[in-house]
Amino acid sequence: MEKQDYIQLFDKFLLKQASPEEVQILIQWLKSEGSFQDWMDEEWDVASSGMDTDLQQKLLGQIKQKISLEMQQAPLKRNKYRTIYLWTARIASVIILLLLTGISVYRYAMEQQKMQDMIVSVEKGQKANVVLPDGSKVWVNSDSRLIYGSRFTSKERILELEGEAYFEVAPDKDRPFIVETNDLAVRALGTSFNVKSYEEEKDISTVLMTGKVEVSSSYDRLILNPNERIVFDKQTGHMEKSSVENAKEYINWKFNELTFKGETFENIVHTLERYYNTRIVFESESLKKYRFTGTPGNTSLESILQILSLTSPLSYEVKDSLIILWENVKQKAYYEKALK
């Protein structure tokens, strides 16, 4: 008999239509070391083709071990049709049960894997872009950390951000897209916006390019429209909204270009440290309050320091990998008006 004949005989047996002679033939085939095992391997491969290889082999080994045990515990008795039937049925049930169990375990393992958090960690001087499971795109700035997974579900899309990132959200009216920082939550449906929330900086900011977002803290909630920006003061808890001329300038970092909009030297230094992966210290605390507006673009750190020194009483010195900044007292009088 061909393999297909045995398979048809197996189906006939499960329908209780096989004769005692046919059952005897089937039993001999089931007991054989080669034919039945080959058929079971083939069926398992088809049923579990998407399964992890290690998990697949482990479960298959359990099936073979269980069948071997059934053979030892239920020896055949000649001309006992009922005994033969029960023995074979037990083997069939073992195959079906473990096969279904294997698939269930696999699905459960896959679900658990989906539930695990994914962490995108970007070092200083680096950037990264990520496509989320829903198709949304994220550009993560240097010295930043993006966490998603366990709360990125069929009902809502929640991410955690430490640092700065730009989001282009895939529209999904049934699943709000929420970016959480330590102090703020930015909620969107289908839009593009930038969130900046570094631990060492005093403010958290959100700028909206397209669509609409809701920014909420423990004390306030504001709606942002395109070309609007919210700045949250971590110390006071105050959140302020303002209009900007061109929101896209706030994501120039995505294209390796630096843009500063009335930023304090203290914040600018934090940005330069992350961007160039270097260490900068202030010798003069008063220098931190000066502000600068401009777009140095994609240039060297030395060039940016020269630009700052031309527009403020800043002087600097490079010692090995350390940059020291101090206030030039002789030039200070010319720049007093620059402070706000």
Q: Which of 150, 249, 141, 155 is nearest to 196 (CA)?
A: 141
- Average pLDDT in the 90-102 region? 49
Hey, how many other C-beta atoms are within 10 angstroms of the C-beta on 53?
8
Q: Which residues contact 294 (CB under 8 A, 6 or more apart)?
A: 259, 260, 307, 311
CATH class of 116-246: mainly beta
First to last CA, the chain: 95
- Average pLDDT in the 181-195 region? 93
Q: What confidence tier does 117 reach under pLDDT thresholds 50, 70, 90?
A: confident
Integer CA distances (angstroms), 7 to 14, 17, 19, 29, 85, in order:
11, 14, 15, 10, 16
* pLDDT value at residue 97: 47
Q: Is the pLDDT of residue 260 over 90?
A: yes
- Architecture of the CATH domain 257-340: 3-Layer(bab) Sandwich (3.55)
Topology match between the domains 116-246 and 257-340: no
Sequence ranges of the domains in the chain: 3-115, 116-246, 257-340
Q: Which of 186, 173, 190 is nearest to 221 (CA)?
A: 186
Q: Which residues contact 65 (CB under 8 A, 6 or more apart)?
A: none
Residue found under tokens 């900086």:
201
- Average pLDDT in the 85-108 region? 49
Angstrom distance (rounded) from CA 247 to CA 21: 83
- The 3-class SS string of the chain reads CCHHHHHHHHHHHHCCCCCHHHHHHHHHHHHCCCHHHHHHHHHHHHHCCCCCHHHHHHHHHHHHHHHHHHHHHCCCCCCCHHHHHHHHHHHHHHHHHHHHHHHHHHHHHHHHHHHCCEEEEECCCCCEEEECCCCCEEEECCCEEEEEEEEECCCCEEEEEEEEEEEECCCCCCCCEEEECCCCEEEECCCEEEEEECCCCCEEEEEEEECCEEEECCCCEEEECCCEEEEEECCCCCEEEEECCCHHHHHHHHHCCEEEEEEEHHHHHHHHHHHHCCEEEECCHHHHHCEEEEEEECCCHHHHHHHHHHCCCEEEEEECCEEEEEECHHHHHHHHHHCC
- Average pLDDT in the 299-309 region? 90
In percent, the amount of the chain with pLDDT more than 70 equals 65
Hey, how many other C-beta atoms are within 10 angstroms of the C-beta on 330?
9
User: What's the chain's Rg over C-alpha atoms?
Assistant: 34
- Average pLDDT in the 244-270 region? 93
Q: Is the pLDDT of residue 108 over 50?
A: no
Q: Of 19 and 286, which is predicted with more confidence?
A: 286
* pLDDT value at residue 99: 47
Q: Which of 292, 285, 282, 294 is nearest to 340 (CA)?
A: 292
